[in-house]
């Protein structure tokens, strides 16, 4: 799935940011913080040429950042697909579009260069993920994604 890494790299270079909220703004994807059910982290919706990311306003800032990155992945990679709710257990989904959106978010939030900065540290990949707003359950994506 190097095409996803390439897509992320192109976006970051073009807009000079890896902040998913800023990228959503540049790409004209409206981000809405909403009081969703506690099991629902967020979802992406396409409606009449308009793109929306809904994020559960009850999530902490780090998780909101990850959810925005994940849903932005849908907006970029699957622009016309209305996606199911990103639930707490969806992190382990094997559905192709969910796996791709997770990879997009991880590549966006943890640039490869960031891992090089930690080469001489005692931090685990899980601890590095935590510092970059990526759930530790998805650490394997970056760890083996070279």
pTM: 0.90
Tell me, what's the pLDDT at 146?
A: 43
Over residues 33-87, the pLDDT tens digits come to 999 998 889 999 999 999 999 999 999 999 999 999 999 999 999 999 877 666 5
CA distance 89 to 80: 24
2-143 classified as CATH 1.10.3470: no
Tell me, what's the pLDDT at 92?
A: 58
Tell me, what's the pLDDT at 11?
A: 98
CA distance 28 to 115: 30
Largest alpha-carbon pair distance within the chain? 50
Tell me, what's the pLDDT at 87?
A: 57
Q: What is the DSSP letter of 49?
A: T
Cβ(145)–Cβ(107) below 8 Å: yes
pLDDT of residue 145 exceeding 50: no
Tell me, what's the pLDDT at 61?
A: 97
Tell me, what's the pLDDT at 124?
A: 86
Range name among 24-38, 59-73, 121-135 with the lowest pLDDT average: 121-135
HSE at residue 19, side-chain half, CA atoms within 13 A, is 8
Over residues 78-113, the pLDDT tens digits come to 999 877 666 555 565 668 888 999 999 999 999 988
CA distance 68 to 145: 21
CA distance 139 to 116: 15
CA distance 21 to 43: 14
What mean pLDDT comes out for the span 24-33?
98
For the chain, the domains span 2-143
pLDDT of residue 144 exceeding 60: no
Residue owning tokens 């900065």: 117
Tell me, what's the pLDDT at 115?
A: 83
């Amino acid at each position: 799935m190097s095409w996803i890494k390439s897509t992320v790299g192109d976006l970051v270079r073009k807009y000079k940011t890896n902040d998913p909220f800023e990228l959503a703004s540049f790409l004209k994807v409206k981000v809405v913080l909403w009081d969703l059910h506690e099991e629902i982290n967020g979802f992406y919706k396409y409606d009449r040429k308009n793109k929306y990311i809904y994020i559960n306003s009850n999530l902490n800032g780090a998780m909101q950042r990850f959810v925005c990155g994940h849903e932005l992945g849908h907006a970029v990679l699957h622009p016309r697909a209305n996606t199911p709710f990103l639930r707490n257990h969806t992190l382990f989904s094997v559905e192709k579009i969910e796996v791709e959106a997770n990879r997009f978010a991880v590549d966006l939030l943890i640039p490869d260069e960031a891992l090089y900065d930690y080469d001489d540290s005692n931090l685990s990949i899980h601890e590095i993920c935590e510092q970059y707003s990526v759930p530790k359950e998805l650490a394997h994506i970056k760890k083996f994604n070279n």
